[in-house]
Amino acid sequence: MPERSSLASTGFNSVHDHDTCVEDALSAAEAVCLTQGARLTSLRRRVLELVWQSHRPVGAYAVLDQLKREHRSAAPPTVYRALDFLLEQGLVHRIQSLNAFVGCAHPDAVHRGFFLICTDCGDAIEVEDKSVDGAIIRSAKRFGFDLQSRTIEAAGLCPGCNVQ
């Protein structure tokens, strides 16, 4: 299976129609929630939209700051509950090393990817590679380790930032 990325076929720093990208993500979220019998409330939808504002991981407090511009009463628990819901539905991923969230471009399919994160511009791309996933599974089995979750993150410079 070919590799997939969260930036679809655009890759790092490529020009693409981001408004369409966000609209597609929100439409996919509605379909996933409908299929799973989950409620995508207007607040949860807005939090997802704020996460998708760029392809850079965003922290909960950055989301809260944006949300407070629209809803003065927004508080950290509100954002964390919405983010927890989005994680449970597979609509966002948590980037552990940054304590931040990024939208999932493939919420309708079970997948095990990894993230390439640019340390300069902050863009993140989700890549799915069956050989990497297989190597992790084989290693876990060899050591008798029961995998329960995993997030693999690799930091470096994207092509646009790696210009010398």
| Structure tokens, 47 | 């939090």
Residue 14: per-residue pLDDT: 56
User: Over pLDDT 70: what percentage of the chain?
Assistant: 88
Mean of pLDDT values over 56-81: 94
20-68 pLDDT, tens per residue?
A: 888 988 999 999 999 999 999 999 999 999 999 888 899 999 999 999 9
Q: What is the mean pLDDT of residues 94-118?
A: 87
The answer for residues whose C-beta is within 8 angstroms of residue 1's C-beta and 6 or more apart is 128, 130
As a whole number, mean pLDDT of residues 116-138 equals 90
Q: What's the chain's average pLDDT?
A: 86
How many Cα atoms are found within 13 Å in the side-chain-facing hemisphere of 88?
13
- DSSP labels, the chain: ---EETTTT--TT----HHHHHHHHHHHHHHHHHHHT----HHHHHHHHHHTTSSS-B-HHHHHHHHHHH-TT--HHHHHHHHHHHHHTTSEEEEGGGTEEEE-S-TTS---EEEEEETTT--EEEEE-HHHHHHHHHHHHHTT-------EEEEE--TTT---
What pLDDT is attached to residue 8? 36
Q: Are 150 and 139 in contact (CB under 8 A)?
A: no
4-9+16-156 carries CATH number 1.10.10.10? yes
What integer pLDDT is reported at residue 16 of this predicted model?
Answer: 59
Whole-model pTM?
Answer: 0.82
In this model, does residue 7 exceed pLDDT 60?
A: no
Mean pLDDT, rounded, for 108-130? 86
Instruction: Supply the pLDDT for residue 103.
Output: 92
Q: Tokens 């927890």 identify what position? A: 84
**Given this model, what pLDDT does residue 93 score?**
92
